[in-house]
Structure 1
Amino acid sequence: MSYKVLARKWRPTKFSEVVGQEHVLKSLISALDNDRVHHAYLLTGTRGVGKTTLARILARCLNCESGVGSEPCGQCSACKEIDEGRYVDLIEVDAASRTKVEDTRDLLDNVQYLPARARYKVYLIDEVHMLSTHSFNALLKTLEEPPEHVKFLFATTDPQKLPVTVLSRCLQFNLKNLAPAEIADYLAEVLDKESVEFEKKAVWQLAIAANGSMRDGLTLTDQAITHCNDKFTEQNVSEMLGVPTSEQIVVLLGAMARRNIKEVLLIIQKIEEKSVDYINYLDNLLAAFHQIMLAQVDGEFINKNGVNASEFKELAKLFSAEDVQLYYQFGLKGRNEMSMASSVRSAFEMLILRMLLFSPAYSESSEDPAEDSVNQKKK
């Protein structure tokens, strides 16, 4: 039996299994339970947030043999065949590969015919924004006067490209990017089901790297299982992603707090040896400064999934609030400059040195930064 990737193996088949998107689920469940189902739905959002998954669940709800409702049985032939992607009355179309008006007309020619077996004939058109202008014109007439037995489910990552005339005839739901905590909790649940032992911080690294996309998170988890073998640790996952561990960030922050320039430069040298992406490193550093500031204001708001809260609280004692704000501003500006530099490492070094040499605390300790740097070398 061939291996089934995690994103497909653990794809939700009912609304209760969907992570996040409560604002969308509430409306869809209410419409199904109160028999107020619209003829056309448009699901928008970035990649991997559940657009196609929700559309398939909605198709199951509409055609389940137990009746229309928000909780399909999952046991009837309709539910099973929709899950397997072979249900005759669920027509899935990838608009990116069928942009011509002829393709759309061929598709719509069958709209007038009753479903072969189902209650509704459901058209699921993915990346609908890829259709041509003529294709939208052909579709518009059907959307204006749809047959009672037809439902349209559209999914797109770019709703701005859809004609207003199409948008006005659909119920539009914007799916949000998932929070790292939501992704991390789900990945941990999947790893438990897969009987894979893991470190919590390793899962958090994957959740951050997923950038709001559950599918990306599951794909990275697949890759991490292969990369880490039986050692699903933060260290191994960080090496795979090319990002620093929480411990490495703490070490750099400690050196910066002590204003030990030599130690800071040696740490940056080790970053180069481990082939860590400098922009990722800076992003993690900025996130750490944010957590330090939260610790200085009120420790209850610290994110406990990354570096331990106790470490943030200790670091917060070493930095002044003024320095943290200044470092954060330097970092944001420097991130843009790094993309223009011929050497990313040099740009990163210059940024860290700028943080240290031009901070108020450093100016107070040395009237001449250049002279102080020379003296430090002599030591």
Structure 2
Amino acid sequence: MSDSFLDLGETPQPAAKADAYRVLARKYRPQTFSQLIGQDAMVTTLGNAIKRDRLAHAFLLTGVRGVGKTSTARLIAKALNCIGPDGQGGPTIDPCGVCEPCRAIAEGRHIDVIEMDAASHTGIDDIREIIEASRYAAVSARYKIYIIDEVHMLSKAAFNGLLKTLEEPPGHVKFLFATTEVNKVPVTVLSRCQRFDLRRIPAELLAGHFAHVVAAEGFEAEPEALALIARAAEGSARDGLSILDQAIAHAGMEGEGVRADAVRAMLGLSDRGAIRELFRLLLAGEAAPALAALRGQYDLGVDPQAVLRTLLETVHGVTLAKVGAAPPAGQSAEEREALGHWAESLSFSMLHRLWQLLLKGHDEVARAALPIEACEMALLRVIHASSLPDPGELARALAEGRGPALPAGGPPHGASAPAPAEAPVAAAEPEPAPPALPDSVEAIADLLEKHGRHTLQVQVRNHVRPIRLEPPELEMSGARPLPTDFTRDLGLALREITGQTWSILIGEGAGNPTLRETLAAQAEAERAEILASPLVVAAMAAFPGAELDHWKRKDGSIAR
């Protein structure tokens, strides 16, 4: 047989496999302390300890998921074992990342850095192996380091077996513990460790970090989309990167960048513009449009519980705006403007009532067999409660022996008016003419005084800076702090006295002077006129040091 029939050539080799894809949470795990976001205080403490050679023999890292506990433990291992590019370096807060110990620890293959998951190694036998091995010096590193993740999962016997070694370990051994549930770690262990509480990462830092990641991956993203992901991450970098990974995959399929509406749909979040409109309808008491808006969100696939959760966030945002807190990162200008407007018109008591009603509805929907129906009933309860009298006003009315005023338009829907008592037939008397509406702030104050509303009339005289008065509407300046619930109390009082519903608004601008300021200006002008009169000037010259104490006005009143 010819050799040509035996020459089969080179055995074909399989094509080289491309590197397996690594998720963003692993690909962008911090490799230096400078890349560890949101934990500046811990990094400063560690840096100072390393510089001063005051290193603890055991560290406990605690915090919620995804804030960098395990990554920090590995960074500490690198910092303690780094020898520098020239092989002559010592412990440093800025490990070089190029020496053999740094690269081996980063790749998880260093023989002297042992990682153990306490969730799968919970017993005393696993700890006994660590205790026995810790007696021997490190093979090639400066320190032998044991990283035990989720340390709270160790059994009681395992913790007890570790105590003696943990208190007096050999000089070449360091223990690094990480846990999400520090309350489950025995105090005997806590007292033997230097504890670092890793904070939740602020949303603005996460959004900035995600922007760098998106740019490094060659994609584009809307700032609002990154802000949504940062808020959904709840302070966890790993959770946020996992969501971002999914958002980038979705954007890749669609051929577009990471968009806010796509992220919102992916997370099942309600459109915040639609929720603001729903919140407006609730405040206006428009039941049918509010239910239609809710059904519109439901038809788009938004969970009813998520709608209530976003409404709760809206109430919380209005309350923060009312107390003057800084708006959160990523909040749109439209949302900031809407929250500011509601903060001016809603009182604290109304906001607290809304919060309690929506929170109760949220809990009910979570347990309901019919979630959307339960959500509708919760919103109707909010609308109905908005028309009820304020508990404080109701208590005052009862204390004064009068019934609370009904809402404009008569008795509530479905309630019949009380039947009139039988009386002898008599000629109908003409109905009294409705009282004239006060056409000035002074007239409003006098009317309140006449009807026994002494506190309100004092507040009107001292605080109201009128911008526009067109009865039954009064627009006043908000430049001067007003008492809590003042606009609501004034509107209720004027409605009871005049029989008409008043609209008390907070407008823009400084407004005209208050009655008190007007009277003070008049008194000052009178005083100046009196002091300038020749007779008073001569008296002051004759009696040096004399002062004008009071004078009598033309109407007989005494001014000072």
Same fold? TM cut 0.5: yes
Specify whether residues 305 and 361 from structure 1 end up closer, same or farther in structure 2 by C-alpha distance, changes over 3 A only.
farther
Paired amino acid for 1:219: S
For residues 61-119 of structure 1, give each alpha carbon's deviation from its aligned partner in whole angstroms, at most 9, with x where no partner exists.
Answer: 00001210111111111111111111111100001111122122123221111111100
Query: 2:56, 2:92 → 1: CA distance?
Result: 14
- Which residue of 2 is the match for residue 377 of structure 1? none
Displacement after TM superposition at 1:261 (Å): 1.5
Partner SS, residue 314 of structure 2: helix
- Which residue of 1 is the match for residue 337 of structure 2? 310
Paired amino acid for 1:3: Y
Partner SS, residue 43 of structure 1: strand
For residues 108-131 of structure 1, give each alpha carbon's deviation from its aligned partner in whole angstroms, at most 9, with x where no partner exists.
Answer: 221111111100000000011111
The answer to whether residue 59 in structure 2 is matched with residue 41 in structure 1 is yes
- Which residue of 1 is the match for residue 47 of structure 2? 29
Q: 1:160 aligns with which of 170, 173, 183?
A: 183
Paired amino acid for 2:360: K
Query: 2:411, 2:228 → 1: CA distance?
Result: 41
- Which residue of 2 is the match for residue 208 of structure 1? 231
1:95-106, aligned counterparts within 5 Å? 95-106=118-129
Displacement after TM superposition at 1:314 (Å): 4.1
1:111-122, aligned counterparts within 5 Å? 111-122=134-145
Whether the aligned pair in 1 keeps the contact of 2:285 and 2:383 (CA below 8 Å) is yes
- Which residue of 2 is the match for residue 287 of structure 1? 313
- Which residue of 2 is the match for residue 376 of structure 1? none
- Which residue of 1 is the match for residue 372 of structure 2? 345
Partner SS, residue 243 of structure 1: coil
Paired amino acid for 1:115: A
Whether the aligned pair in 2 keeps the contact of 1:198 and 1:231 (CA below 8 Å) is yes
**What's the Cα RMSD here?**
2.1
Which runs of 5 or more residues in structure 1 are unaligned?
Answer: 373-379
Partner SS, residue 339 of structure 1: helix
Displacement after TM superposition at 1:342 (Å): 1.6
Query: 2:103, 2:379 → 1: CA distance?
Result: 57
- Which residue of 2 is the match for residue 142 of structure 1? 165
Whether the aligned pair in 1 keeps the contact of 2:203 and 2:329 (CA below 8 Å) is no
Q: 2:261 aligns with which of 220, 235, 238?
A: 235
- Which residue of 1 is the match for residue 21 of structure 2? 3
For residues 231-289 of structure 1, give each alpha carbon's deviation from its aligned partner in whole angstroms, at most 9, with x where no partner exists.
Answer: 41111111111111222222212322433221111111112112212222222211212
The answer to whether residue 102 in structure 2 is matched with residue 59 in structure 1 is no
Query: 2:167, 2:340 → 1: CA distance?
Result: 60
Which runs of 5 or more residues in structure 2 are unaligned?
Answer: 1-18, 84-88, 390-405, 416-560
Displacement after TM superposition at 1:179 (Å): 2.4
Specify whether residues 325 and 159 from structure 1 end up closer, same or farther in structure 2 by C-alpha distance, changes over 3 A only.
closer
Paired amino acid for 1:269: R
Q: 2:350 aligns with which of 318, 323, 330?
A: 323
The answer to whether residue 263 in structure 2 is matched with residue 259 in structure 1 is no
- Which residue of 2 is the match for residue 355 of structure 1? 382
The total of aligned residue pairs comes to 371
Q: 1:333 aligns with which of 341, 353, 360?
A: 360
The answer to whether residue 103 in structure 2 is matched with residue 80 in structure 1 is yes
The answer to whether residue 300 in structure 2 is matched with residue 278 in structure 1 is no
Displacement after TM superposition at 1:192 (Å): 2.0
Higher helix share: 1
Query: 2:410, 2:212 → 1: CA distance?
Result: 55
Query: 1:337, 1:180 → 2: CA distance?
Result: 30
Comparing 352-361 with 88-97, greater Cα deviation is found at: 352-361
Partner SS, residue 96 of structure 1: coil
Partner SS, residue 228 of structure 1: helix
For residues 307-332 of structure 1, give each alpha carbon's deviation from its aligned partner in whole angstroms, at most 9, with x where no partner exists.
Answer: 42233334546655543332122122
Query: 1:128, 1:276 → 2: CA distance?
Result: 39
The answer to whether residue 413 in structure 2 is matched with residue 370 in structure 1 is yes
- Of structures 1 and 2, the one with the larger relative CO (CA 8 A, separation 6+) is 1
Specify whether residues 295 and 163 from structure 1 end up closer, same or farther in structure 2 by C-alpha distance, changes over 3 A only.
closer
Specify whether residues 251 and 228 from structure 1 end up closer, same or farther in structure 2 by C-alpha distance, changes over 3 A only.
farther
Query: 1:192, 1:231 → 2: CA distance?
Result: 11
Query: 1:89, 1:107 → 2: CA distance?
Result: 12
Specify whether residues 19 and 57 from structure 1 end up closer, same or farther in structure 2 by C-alpha distance, changes over 3 A only.
same
Partner SS, residue 367 of structure 2: coil
Partner SS, residue 50 of structure 2: helix
Q: Which has the larger radius of gyration?
A: 2
Query: 1:369, 1:176 → 2: CA distance?
Result: 52
TM-score of the two chains, using structure 2 as the length reference: 0.63
TM-score of the two chains, using structure 1 as the length reference: 0.91
Comparing 260-269 with 57-66, greater Cα deviation is found at: 260-269
Paired amino acid for 2:200: N
Comparing 31-40 with 257-266, greater Cα deviation is found at: 257-266
Specify whether residues 97 and 366 from structure 1 end up closer, same or farther in structure 2 by C-alpha distance, changes over 3 A only.
farther
Comparing 214-223 with 302-311, greater Cα deviation is found at: 302-311
For residues 27-82 of structure 1, give each alpha carbon's deviation from its aligned partner in whole angstroms, at most 9, with x where no partner exists.
Answer: 21211121111000011111111111111111010000121011111111111111
- Which residue of 1 is the match for residue 482 of structure 2? none
Paired amino acid for 1:157: T
Whether the aligned pair in 2 keeps the contact of 1:326 and 1:359 (CA below 8 Å) is no
Partner SS, residue 192 of structure 1: helix
Paired amino acid for 2:407: E
Whether the aligned pair in 2 keeps the contact of 1:124 and 1:154 (CA below 8 Å) is yes
Partner SS, residue 209 of structure 2: helix
Comparing 318-327 with 212-221, greater Cα deviation is found at: 318-327
- Which residue of 1 is the match for residue 520 of structure 2? none
Query: 1:288, 1:236 → 2: CA distance?
Result: 21
